[in-house]
Amino acid sequence: MAKFSSTGQIQTIRLVSVPEQSAFYVRDAARYLGISPNTLRKRSDLGLILARRDENGNRVFLLEDLDNYLNALPPFIEGVNPIDSRPVETGCQKKGGKP
């Protein structure tokens, strides 16, 4: 799929397909959310993402719960830190260097 930018150039848009399955183990659930498996485990332990356990004790995430988590996230605003609304600094600085 493509869209036109404000300059009239065509930009490619990556389409994300919705999986046909309704339950995922950690690796696939993390891939769906765009986070690492360790981050998913931490957020699950904190109660931010609901996880169930299968008969072997492995975490299982339902698609509905993953979508609920995504829908509860604050909107992305480029250049703004969502934690404290301060502008995000870009670029690298050496330690002790001047901004």
43: buried, middle or exposed (CB in 10 Å: 19+, 13-18, 0-12)?
middle
Side chain identity at 19, as an amino acid letter?
P
Q: Domain boundaries in the chain?
A: 18-59
User: What pTM, to 2 d.p., does this model score?
Assistant: 0.59
pLDDT tens sequence for the chain (99 residues): 444 455 666 655 555 555 577 889 999 999 999 999 999 999 999 999 999 999 999 999 999 999 999 999 887 777 776 666 555 555 555 555 555
